Structure 1
Amino acid sequence: MEKILDENYYDFLINNTIVQESQRENITHINDRHSILHVQMSDFNMCDLGLYPYHRFPSLLTLSSKLSLDSSNISQIQSNPSLALLGAGVLVGIIDTGIDYTHPAFKNADNSSRIAFIWDQTIQGGTVPEGFTYGTEYDNQELNLALGSEEPLSIVPSVDENGHGTALASVAAGSPSPDGGFRGVVPRSQLIVVKLKQAKQNLRRIFCIPEEVVCYQETDVVLGARYIYATARRLNMPVVICLGLGASLASHEGNEATSSYLDFISQVSQVDAVVSAGNEGNNNRHYYGNVDSSPFNQEFELKVSPRDPLFAFEIWPDIQARLSIQVIAPTGEMTQVIYPSLGTCFNHQFVFSQTQMWVNNILIEEESGGQMILVRFADATEGIWRIRVNNIDETPFSFHSWLPNGDFISNETFFLLSSPDTTITSPGNAVHV
């Protein structure tokens, strides 16, 4: 089995400068900066994150917002005959849950497809895109052949089980409906669609993501962006890459691999990237602390719902702080003080409940250059948890803490004194998207 699909391998994001010749057979190239290193697992352990650096584990993303034509004033531009900006000669790339290619919104008047290519990462055994190692590519000729048959899925079996990708593509580039009641932003454009495969279970387990939720890993997203970018260059056409996904467990500074890659290609002539900002502003999943006086510590509270026995959250202090952390359960039981270090993972089994917790207090998170604290729970007890942080340098400090976004966690688990600011999800934090 291809290692990028094999659950017995971790997919690590690494910088190309550290790739060794002996690792070549375990490498999937992404771009000039990053590659994927496939590392075989022995027995799964939550403290594999600690044994291997945090920044090597791909971020996990989930579905985000949809675009409204009226709220973005696009309807006014479409109706202006002097502009007529309807997307003719432009490619729109969609990285999402796939597309219902049989839908009228993606057909020309003669019933032919407006979709140039589909790369379905979930279908193996077909024609793999050039330069890639998994999935199946379908071109416009195959799509037209399918649309002309009585059983299209027997020729092109790619489907959108969720509907999110189809909705995003239709709003971005859907053909006008016969009754004139709907049309997308650029109804004369052509589409390139990447259907993402679901994230590996080993990554879900590491970051305490429930099995049933829609979840994608950063490596597949970046490869999808690379595929769309390379295809547009080959066709010599301008392209806009649309990504309706996001992640909150990140630094929110635009340093991650997806952010940096989309930021880079957005500065290339005739290439742009449009990324959702997320829906996290009113979900009480962000806490901001600012301590400017002695004793230079702060305690904040997290309400945990019985619907969320498995979840994680992160704390990102400012660059000058060095924080220790102590966690107090609703029963009053508390952990020891956990100090920042390198390459460690603190595992704690609470005595008065079934809750198990892992804390990685990382002194230097290599992508951001600052400290990061990752707290993960299994069988988390319902109630109010208290998180106590202390600056061991006894100086003023500030910090952000984020819970997961989207359906990774219910709205019944939240910070009691949350802040609605700084809640744009990654890679929406990239400067040029």
Structure 2
Amino acid sequence: MDEADRYKITSEDYADIILEDWSNTEAARKFSGDFVNHINNDIAFAYIPMDRMTLDSINKFGYYSIPGCYGLMKAETGWEQLPDSNPDSFNGYVGNGVLLGFVDTGIDYRHPAFIGKDNTTRIVSIWDQTINSQGYPEGLYYGTEYSREQINAALQSPDPLSVVPVTDNIGHGTMMAGIACGSQDEANHFQGIAPEAELVIVKLKPAKQYLKEIFIIPDEVPCYQENDIMAGVEYLNRVAGLLNRPIVICLGVGNNMADHAGLRISSRFYASLGEKPGFVFVTAAGNEANRRNHYYGNIADNVTMDYVELHVGEKNPGFMMQFWGQPPNFFWIDVYMPSGEFLVRIPPVDGQTMVERRDNTLVVVDSMLGIPSNHNQSIIFRFRNPAEGNWTFMVFGSMGDLPREFHFWLTLHNFLEEGTYFLNPNIYTTIVGPANSTGLLTVTSYDINTGKLDFYSSRGLNVDQFLKPDITAPGINVLAPFPDYTYAAASGSSIAAAYTAGITAHMLQWGVVEGRAAFLNTPHVRHIYQLSAIREKDRDYPNEDWGYGILNPKGIMSTMRDFMSF
């Protein structure tokens, strides 16, 4: 590894490509002259000159290989009328011996929420991907790793940031870590769920500009690329392995331009880690319901087509949209502009990129078959300077007696200009990636004060009809540490995921650290949460809104004992 190759990892002059089974002959041939960084035995990232990225790159390199762009799963933050933090009892457990890992916007390590009773940090290490130095983690080659000793030295300094310059200018990572395991602060009526667990933190670098341009994401919106998140998760895996400690990995980022079946390379990687004893992977379901950015269609036997209408507001610079045709049927789509002018017909063809221009409007369409499996049909639309008004998509399905079901999703609401929405939206099948993976623990949010589901919390199922979310947890107006020694009231599914991660640290202390159930992993924990959840008598379970019910910390232990008695 030389400095020229290291430069490519963070340089805007090089594009990133995700490779699975990097040792196969085709990948070795295609990227033989490029720097390829192998992050584990199966996955690698190639870095190629930007001139090889063209309009047809999604098809040229593959649906999975272009890193997706992920946004924050936080709905809002407020500072008025902050609630008291009142973590649920778990029979005296506080997360001793357990690691909590976050791959997010960083952490304000100076905050009292992350300092123990002995005035030392509760953070094991931080990998800041935004600060390049020679102190990068072994085998990852970018950013800077800061140890517990360095953080403690910074805390003793009159100017901590001159010693460890890690910050969290957004606050999302600080809030999630604090909710999960913040230290008690009596003066501010705060305590995290597992106040004696320890932290491992990854601060993500922003996505490269070329990816934001491919996925048409506004410059000012926080956005992180898939392979940086994967590298961050691998870092957490290595730290837990080195220390031989159980870990709860919590992701509060998500992507709506995914397969909604949890079959991306990253999703499968996370699920495989979550099957290891002592590893639990918690994900935020998303905040995409009631955003009008999903359409579901099912063409009846006696009709030929379905009309899908999408409203585009004025002066919209562009957006991305995905079509997903359920197998075994195939679909044709005729696209009409707001003026009524026919733009293009998109047939069920694999590996085709179409480019259409009308006046100032540019539409790029990538068609794929069999991605990721079962011969389903996927179409990626990229609109630049789209004409204002109602666009019409006439969807034709192959005739026969089998269902003709399909979906459209717009990009995350975080990335979308106001005024762009489906006229007849559907709030279901809106769980984001990677939370739509069957192998991860997926958490949605509700208001503990009203007992109502968060209006925007994403709903299931996934496209393969697998039940998601798994569980519902508090995620509205939750007190959380915020940068610069303050606190804020936070809402969103990432908040509910952080709460659940803290409860999970209790479970791993009881089961793994204390030796009662060293085998505990994501499937086991999910099963126990499902069994012990609080369920309303007049509501059917499981369902697409609440999953198996509300997370029940007080009922987990008895369920765990029953589980162990078999």
TM-score range, shorter chain: over 0.9
* Range that drifts further, 215-224 or 338-347: 338-347
Q: Which residue of 2 aligns with 1:328?
A: 336
Q: Which residue of 2 aligns with 1:222?
A: 230
Which one-letter code corresponds to 2:20 in the other structure?
A: N
Q: Which residue of 1 aligns with 2:422?
A: 415
Query: Unaligned stretches of 5+ in structure 1?
Result: 69-73
The answer on 1:123 being equivalent to 2:131 is yes
The answer on 1:361 being equivalent to 2:367 is yes
Quick one: structure 1 residues 95 and 76, their matched pair in 2 at CA, closer, same or farther if it must change by over 3 Å?
Answer: closer
Task: Decide which structure has greater helix share.
Answer: 2
How far the C-alpha of 1:44 sits from its partner, in A, is 5.1
- Which of 60, 72, 78 is 1:63 aligned to? 72
**1:142 partner SS:** helix
Distance 1:44 1:388 in 2: 31
After superposition, the C-alpha distances for 1:271-316 in whole angstroms (9 at most, x for unaligned) are 1111111111111111100013144321101111236321110011
The answer on 1:178 being equivalent to 2:186 is yes
Q: Which residue of 1 aligns with 2:143?
A: 135
RMSD (Å), alpha carbons? 2.1
* Range that drifts further, 189-198 or 288-297: 288-297
Quick one: structure 1 residues 206 and 340, their matched pair in 2 at CA, closer, same or farther if it must change by over 3 Å?
Answer: same
Alignment of 1:220-259 (within 5 A): 220-259=228-267
Q: Which residue of 2 aligns with 1:373?
A: 379
Distance 2:270 2:76 in 1: 19
**1:50 partner SS:** helix
Quick one: structure 1 residues 10 and 174, their matched pair in 2 at CA, closer, same or farther if it must change by over 3 Å?
Answer: same
The answer on 1:52 being equivalent to 2:52 is no
How far the C-alpha of 1:41 sits from its partner, in A, is 2.4
Distance 1:135 1:49 in 2: 28
Q: Which residue of 2 aligns with 1:400?
A: 407
The answer on 1:107 being equivalent to 2:112 is no
Distance 1:38 1:269 in 2: 33
* Range that drifts further, 308-317 or 112-121: 308-317
Which one-letter code corresponds to 1:318 in the other structure?
A: Q
Quick one: structure 1 residues 429 and 35, their matched pair in 2 at CA, closer, same or farther if it must change by over 3 Å?
Answer: same
- Which of 183, 204, 208 is 2:212 aligned to? 204
Alignment of 1:279-294 (within 5 A): 279-294=287-302
How far the C-alpha of 1:14 sits from its partner, in A, is 1.7
After superposition, the C-alpha distances for 1:330-376 in whole angstroms (9 at most, x for unaligned) are 1112213121223321111114xx11111112223246642101111
Answer yes or no: is the 8 Å Cα contact 2:296–2:408 preserved in 1: yes
Quick one: structure 1 residues 125 and 76, their matched pair in 2 at CA, closer, same or farther if it must change by over 3 Å?
Answer: closer
Distance 2:249 2:372 in 1: 28
Distance 1:211 1:189 in 2: 36
- Which of 373, 385, 391 is 1:385 aligned to? 391
- Which of 19, 31, 49 is 2:40 aligned to? 31
How far the C-alpha of 1:401 sits from its partner, in A, is 1.1
**1:4 partner SS:** helix
Q: Which residue of 2 aligns with 1:431?
A: 438
The answer on 1:97 being equivalent to 2:97 is no
- Which of 10, 19, 35 is 1:14 aligned to? 19
Quick one: structure 1 residues 28 and 223, their matched pair in 2 at CA, closer, same or farther if it must change by over 3 Å?
Answer: same
Answer yes or no: is the 8 Å Cα contact 1:67–1:168 preserved in 2: no
Q: Which residue of 1 aligns with 2:518?
A: none
Distance 2:301 2:371 in 1: 26
The answer on 1:310 being equivalent to 2:318 is yes
Quick one: structure 1 residues 307 and 196, their matched pair in 2 at CA, closer, same or farther if it must change by over 3 Å?
Answer: farther
* Range that drifts further, 204-213 or 44-53: 44-53
Query: Unaligned stretches of 5+ in structure 2?
Result: 78-84, 441-566
The answer on 1:156 being equivalent to 2:164 is yes
Distance 1:273 1:167 in 2: 18
Distance 1:394 1:124 in 2: 58
Q: Which residue of 2 aligns with 1:339?
A: 347
How far the C-alpha of 1:426 sits from its partner, in A, is 0.5
* Range that drifts further, 311-320 or 408-417: 408-417
Distance 1:275 1:42 in 2: 36
* Range that drifts further, 38-47 or 171-180: 38-47
Distance 2:315 2:146 in 1: 40
Answer yes or no: is the 8 Å Cα contact 1:67–1:171 preserved in 2: no
**2:18 partner SS:** strand
Which one-letter code corresponds to 1:381 in the other structure?
A: A
- Which of 261, 284, 297 is 1:276 aligned to? 284
Which one-letter code corresponds to 1:175 in the other structure?
A: S
Answer yes or no: is the 8 Å Cα contact 1:346–1:360 preserved in 2: yes
Quick one: structure 1 residues 369 and 219, their matched pair in 2 at CA, closer, same or farther if it must change by over 3 Å?
Answer: farther
How far the C-alpha of 1:15 sits from its partner, in A, is 1.7
**1:427 partner SS:** coil
Distance 1:212 1:279 in 2: 20
Which one-letter code corresponds to 2:392 in the other structure?
A: R
Answer yes or no: is the 8 Å Cα contact 2:34–2:46 preserved in 1: no
How far the C-alpha of 1:113 sits from its partner, in A, is 0.7
Which one-letter code corresponds to 1:421 in the other structure?
A: Y
State the number of aligned residues. Answer: 423
* Range that drifts further, 393-402 or 149-158: 393-402
Answer yes or no: is the 8 Å Cα contact 1:128–1:136 preserved in 2: yes
Distance 1:367 1:199 in 2: 28
How far the C-alpha of 1:93 sits from its partner, in A, is 0.3
Answer yes or no: is the 8 Å Cα contact 2:74–2:172 preserved in 1: no
**1:110 partner SS:** coil
**Percent of pairs with identical residues:** 36
* Range that drifts further, 21-30 or 378-387: 21-30
Which one-letter code corresponds to 1:26 in the other structure?
A: F
**1:419 partner SS:** coil
